[in-house]
Chain A
Amino acid sequence: MPKSPLMICILFSQLIVGEIIGELSFDNRYFFNAGLQEQKKNHTSFSFSPEIFKDDSNKIFHFKAKLRKDSEDSGRDLNDIQELYLINILEDKEIKFGVSKEFWGVTETSHRVDIINQTDFTEGFDGEEKLGQPMIKISLERQWGLLDIYTLLGFRERNFSGNKGRLRLPLSINEKGPLYSSSSKNKRADFAIRWSNYYDDFDIAISHFSGTSREPRFLPSANKINELVPIYEVIDQTGLEIQYLLDGLAIKGEVISRSGQGERFSAATYGFEYTQVGVLQTRIDLGWVVEFNHDDRLESSPFVLGTRFSFNDIYDSQILSGFIVNDKSKELGFLLEASRRIGECCMLSLEGIYFDDTDEDNGQKKLFQAFKDDDFLRAEFIYYL
């Protein structure tokens, strides 16, 4: 007889629901200095992500949640449903109903076009981590490409580090009382559409989003000094993604044009990716990413150089590095990350981030000013259930 009721529950739901998996992660960040607002040096967090997946050939069910608890910053605590959807595959179309994550884009270091999901800004500032979005998505696959039509039901606000958190803005952010330009506030239904196709070595996608901006602007608070209030406006954003494979070289770019947040503006990321297979007669692959950025709203155009050593061993060992150079202000950011598998169950990654001295004033607006004391080392250990 199974000893715990939990075991019975798990066995039972496995019979009905399908496969249950999950991951547990322990994450420790050590900052070399106390924060500008006297935050602590050591921050620890735990997260747990249970997942259920069932595939009945033309019906697919997927559930994934993410729970996170931070030792210092309650702004990093998270209870999020990342996936809870049903896909119905019909004769001529596919319908997804529920909460999900959808990625749009081709570039590596920043994602201009990607807009369906809200960003979890407390996880990392690469903006790769997202929050689940309720939606109805209809996909049509035809000779002329793939057409995805989205109705996005309800809006998720961006989460930010709290007052005791690191990598935060100097002013605190009022997350409790955000402003909306739409009278339906966060209940507004948003729409999006994306067409994508490929022709030999050329990939293209065109998209349009009409709804509440995932990226807020900020207003000074009327009630409190040193506080910002996020304002989520209704925007229209058109995006274009292209990629061309020229032998081993992938040339890629994304560009958007957005209206609804003051003057219409455009922003772009473009560059290339190249992998050297078996460098110096070894098993090691060396991947290069070079990407340039442009944003009408900023004076500077940051440039990013990334490298990845893949050791192609049984541990999947990798070393990743990234330089970001801000051309006008001469700021420099550097990232180094090493990861490997441990046994069959676990992954370990070590990461260091360094922001170059940003005290020098050359009259240019700085991007990393707020993070100048936030250089850190991070260790993350993931156990897969």
Chain B
Amino acid sequence: MKVLSNLMIKQFIVLTMCMILVCIAGDLSANKGLEIAILSDKNNDGFIDSSSTMTMNLINKRGDVVTRKLRFKRLEVPTDGDKSIAIFESPRDVKGVAILSYAHKVEADDQWLYLPALKRVKRIASKNKSGPFLGSEFSFEDFSFQEVEKYEYLYLDEEIYLNNPCYVIERKPLDPYSGYTKQLVWIDKENYLVQKIHHFDRKSFHLKTQLFKDYRKYDGFFWQPHEIEMINHQNGKKSILIFDDVKLKSGFTDRDFSQNSLKRSR
């Protein structure tokens, strides 16, 4: 009887230690995931402002291509999420339509839409972020800035992706209105740049793959991918976003990112 109870105690101790180890390991991998995300996010700190043109190619299953053009401006807000404006250039019927976004670290972003035909600035519910952006495979959510605080992280593995040693981390959006349940993110070990994201939809199906290509360095520190590709595995379509005329420090101020400034955008 005594032997048996001794054995049980031993088993109990071993089991407890195992559980503690698993917990610590879990905690460690959560911490390591978060650390990598923070380092990746810190990459572009101090860019002050940026502007670029964007060409979006929407490609269907048959390979037919239609093109959309936008202008994009962004202002760094050190204490909160960044401010940005996207102005549509083509197709012609949406020329001058603009979207102003104030990203926030934790709470929902603020967004306004400008409709030049009506000369109207309309506040929009940023909760509707899982819908497609301009008919593309990108959602509004994919376009917003992915503040570190908006996710929960888990470190998974190391993996070579296109000859780059990468960390693979899993992140889960904390926002219940996100269109994704989780994302797997490949971040390279050398520069902490996001190389690839697998997006899992609400049914935990691997819906989309996002590839970041042609990173170029500006002002000695600011990394800009010049091509972002989004492949939808469900409908076989893909969208390719090409960035050109990237400029830093144009001297934008808060006034260039106000609701009033939207009315001047066209």
Contact = CB atoms under 8 A, between A and B. Distances in A.
B33 to A, nearest CB: 29
Contact of A103 (B95, B120, B255, B259): B120
B135 A313 contact: yes
B264 A277 contact: no
Bin chain A's interface residue count.
35 or more
Contacts of B123: 198, 203, 243, 245, 250
B232 to A, nearest CB: 10
Contact of B66 (A60, A247, A249, A344): A344
B130 A277 contact: yes
Contacts of A283: 131-132
A247 B107 CA distance: 11
19 contacts: A21-B95, A102-B119, A103-B118, A128-B118, A146-B259, A146-B260, A198-B110, A198-B259, A247-B127, A278-B131, A312-B131, A313-B135, A314-B58, A314-B66, A315-B135, A316-B93, A316-B94, A344-B90, A382-B93
Nearest to B256: A57
A188 to B, nearest CB: 24
B258 interface: yes
A9 B94 CA distance: 27
A87 B135 contact: no
A366 interface: no
Contacts of B165: none
Contact of B128 (A94, A203, A275, A313): A275
B125 A384 contact: no
Interface in B137-188: 177, 179
Interface of A: 21, 23, 53, 55, 60, 87, 89, 94, 101-103, 105, 128, 139, 141, 146, 198, 203, 243, 245, 247-250, 275, 277-278, 283, 285, 312-316, 341, 344-345, 347, 382, 384
Given A278-B130, A285-B131, A384-B92, A247 B125 contact: yes
A225 to B, nearest CB: 40
B266 interface: yes
Nearest to A316: B135
A250 B119 contact: no
Contacts of A277: 128, 130-131
A313 B122 CA distance: 22
B26 interface: no
A53 B135 contact: no
A385 to B, nearest CB: 8
Given A278-B131, A285-B131, A245 B125 contact: yes
A185 B220 CA distance: 65
B206 to A, nearest CB: 16
B112 to A, nearest CB: 9
